[in-house]
Amino acid sequence: MPAPRELRFPSIDGLRAFDAAARVGSFERAAEELDITASAVSKRLGTLESLLGAALFTRSGRALLLTASGREYLPQVRSALALLASMPQHRRTSQRVQRLRVSAPPTFARRVLVPALGSFTQALPEVELELLLSIPYLDVQPGESDVEVHAGEPPVGARRLLDESVLPMAQPQAAAGIGATKDLAGEMLLRTPIQPWLPWLRAAGLDWPEPVRGPRFVDLGLTLEAAACGQGVVLARPSLALDLLRAGRLQPLFGARGPRVAAAAPYWARAAAGGPAALAFCDWLEDACRRTIAEAQALLSTQA
């Protein structure tokens, strides 16, 4: 009679290494999260793959991608780890820090999210944020995130964050010479495909075509900085320009009461994963955006 086959089970360390590597997209960053070396992560995953008899990852350049087997196995692993974490015996103070990955476009992250982060850290000190940048226009995504911030038409259930009108702004010295909309004829209108000029030009009663002169920026923050450096007129949301307006580096044209049109795309956020912490972050971010919009509008009213 043949001897019974020995049952082998994956180690918790191996499962945690797999979960971390799948979430952050690299052995090195998984090692940082687990406080071990990258070679230890690789070894644990090798043991796990040997046990399963299937590869869990492939490499594409510097990116670490899940195989079909990895995608199938990941939900089972996360379910098992969540079950273990829910046991009271495993809830120690040292284990209560939750990491939350948040991806956002560069200008939103730099000018709205990061300046407000102090209040979130105070409200939820047990949540450790990892902030990643995405560039949707160039289809550059940072990988799997717990909370995603995007610009565009919000899907069902997403939180609307910034849905303001845009207006032209310029460096104060340049703005001093622009008293009426027709004076823009001699100015450099800074261009970005993310926010075209044509809708505003029509609202201002100008039958000019979309500007074709000057540099073209695939980033809203760069157009704001170019305008603040005196290189032309920018069409911008007040919330994204708040720090420059506050510092006196930008000024709204036409007394802030000139023509306005809706921004090309509202910003929105949704919790893709991360449980209650991700939802709490979305609540906080929605409120932070409301405060930013209110401050920007109050500042504009003083410059009207």
Q: Which of 80-84, 162-166, 227-231 has the highest mean pLDDT?
A: 227-231
Average pLDDT, stretch 201-213? 90
Residue 85: closest CA among 16, 143, 133: 16
Helix (H, G, I), strand (E, B) or coil at 187: coil
pLDDT of residue 177: 82
Higher pLDDT, 251 or 124: 251
Q: By mean pLDDT, which of 68-82, 88-102, 124-138, 221-235 is the weakest?
A: 88-102
pTM of the model: 0.64
pLDDT of residue 238: 92
Q: How confident is the model at residue 228 (pLDDT cuts 50, 70, 90)?
A: very high
pLDDT of residue 86: 67
Q: How confident is the model at residue 129 (pLDDT cuts 50, 70, 90)?
A: confident
- Cα 150 to Cα 193, 239, 295: the distances in Å are 16, 16, 22
Q: How confident is the model at residue 191 (pLDDT cuts 50, 70, 90)?
A: very high
pLDDT of residue 94: 45
Residue 258: closest CA among 204, 193, 177: 204
| Domains of the chain, start order | 12-90 (1.10.10.10), 97-162+266-302 (3.40.190.10), 165-262 (3.40.190.10)
Mean pLDDT, rounded, of the chain: 83
- Cα 34 to Cα 16, 70, 219, 249: the distances in Å are 8, 20, 35, 44
Average pLDDT, stretch 100-106? 88
pLDDT of residue 93: 47
